[in-house]
Structures are given as structure tokens and as C-alpha cells.
Amino acid sequence: MIKDQKILVLGANGKTGRRVVEKLNQQGCENIRMGSRSANPPFDWENPNTWEASLAGIDSVYITFQPDLAVPSAAETIQRFTKKASQLGITKMVLLSGRGEKEAQICEQIVMNTARHWTIVRASWFNQNFSESFFLEPIIAGHVALPRAEALEPFTDADDIADVAVQALLEDKHNGQIYELTGPRLLTFQQTIAEISKVTGREIKFEALSLEAYTSMLKQYQVPEDFIWLVNYLFSEVLDGRNASVTHDIEKVLGRKAKDFSEYASKLAPTGIWDVRS
């Protein structure tokens, strides 16, 4: 295990990036550089002039792309970034990719073709989307309305994803590997909300909507258009059944089973994250 390498973590304030930083620190890694707009030096995907300072002197990089590798501009940006990183001597790139996203696989191929050593970590819907993202406010309000109510998804915990990413950064045996990460079972959105309702002791209603009605609702709430595009893509393309299967790659890498959604919900409920706000 190589702990003295210099590692850049992009999206260092995000759901997986923040956890990767914490877990690298726990492993005794001291040479970690935060990659975010608020960091020093700052990193901004939309401003390539910030990339070189963040990459200077770095050995390995954990790549998370905002808002998603599926957006039309992602491939060109990833091509430019990985080329710059290789020119500056980066020896390993670990990419967080989207499971079942063919556009993301184009970006994966760019990383594979450019990086000296690489690992691809694929994941889809995170458990933490219900506590750190756009599902949180509807849950607090007690009414969650979503399309694709019947779709089955193996919701994956961000801690598991981060643990795999850390192993990929520190262990050379993961070089050249593609890992598809899932939770241990398939759930619908309605079932996840029912589990949260149970552990919180709150009545949280679930309403199934058409994708058109959901998109219209987001527009009424003045959600940004680029976010609406991404949500529309995820619900129409990724939640079509292509990811309705469970893998054992988390257990393969970490030697333990993936965290179940019920464990995530049960541990988080006592924190009050889903309580009604006064």
C-alpha cells in the first residue's frame, strides 16, 4: 500500500470525494490535495486555467466530474483534463463513472487510453441521494413524487464507493480494473421511502408521476435547466431496467458485504436529518 504518494481528490466537498479524503486521512496518507472551487489552489472544471496548479506535483487523482459524465461536454473536458494530467506526470487515475451510462463509457475509454494506470469505479443511485441531495427536502415535507416508481435499483452507499476508490488509489492490484458497485438488493423508490418512513416513525407519502409531470413540477419550482436535463436523462435512460441487477464487486474489493439501504436508513434516522424542520 502506497501511502506517501501525492493524491488529488476532485469533488472534495462532494458525496464521495469528501469521504475519500476522510478515509485517506484515516489510512495515514498525508499528501492529499483537495480539488474544489473553494480549495487553495482552486479547481474548476469550467476553468481549465485552474487545472495545472491543482495537478502540479501530484502522483494520483480521483476524478469525479460535475454535474455528470453524461452531459454533452463531458467527453471533451475529460479528454483535455487527462491529457494535461499525463503531461504533468500523473501516474494513476481513478474515475467515478455512471453505471449503465453509455455516454460515461466514452469518458471511461478516454481515461483508459490516456492514463498510465487507471481504475474505473461505476455506480448509479447513491443511498445518500436521500439525505444529501435532491430527495431530502421532499422527504422532510412528507411527500415524495417521482417518476419510474416501478424501476428497481441496487442503491449503493457512498461510504462503500469511497472505500473502493481509496483501495484503487493505494493498491496497484486494482490497476486496469473496472468495478461495478451496487448495494446488496434491488429496491424501488417507493420501497426506499417506505423504509425511511418506518425508521423515522413519520408518514411519508409516495406519489408516482409520469416523467413529463415530474419535469413540469421541477420547472414550476424553478430548478435550473441543466439539472432538469440531467434528471430527465437519468430517469428516462438509466432507470429503464439496465441496472436492475446486483454485483459483488464491493465484496470482491473490500472483503465485506455492501451496506444495505436499511442499515443506512437505520443509522441515519437518529441524527434527525429527516425530521420536520421548525
Average pLDDT taken over every residue of the chain: 95
Q: What is the pTM (predicted TM-score) of this model? A: 0.96
Q: What is the pLDDT of residue 231?
A: 86
Task: Give yes or no for a contact between 180 and 131, defined as CB atoms under 8 angstroms apart.
Answer: no
CA gap 23, 29 in Å, rounded: 9
pLDDT of 183 above 90? yes
Instruction: Give every CB contact of residue 175 below 8 A, 6+ residues apart in sequence.
Output: 92, 117, 118, 119
Closest CA to 192 of 201, 204, 182: 204
Tens-place pLDDT, residues 243-256: 999 999 999 999 99
The answer for 96, left when phi > 0, alpha when psi is -120 to 50, beta otherwise, is beta
Residue 73 carries which DSSP code? T
Confidence of residue 277 (pLDDT cuts 50, 70, 90): confident
At 193, is the pLDDT very low, low, confident or very high (cuts 50, 70, 90)? very high
Which pLDDT score is estimated for 5?
93
Average pLDDT over residues 141-150: 95
Asked if residue 26 lies in contact with residue 49, where contact means CB atoms within 8 angstroms, the answer is no
Mean pLDDT of 206-215: 95
pLDDT confidence of residue 278 = 62
What is the pLDDT averaged over residues 260-266?
98
For the domain spanning 7-124+156-182+244-258, the CATH number is: 3.40.50.720
- pLDDT, tens digit (0-9, with 9 covering 90-100), for 10-56: 999 999 999 999 999 999 999 999 999 999 999 999 999 999 999 99
Summarize the confidence of residues 58-77 as an average pLDDT. Answer: 95
pLDDT at 226 over 90: no
Q: In the chain, pLDDT over 90 holds for what percent of residues?
A: 88
Domain ranges of the chain: 7-124+156-182+244-258
Q: Are the C-beta atoms of residues 118 and 95 closer than 8 Å to each other?
A: yes
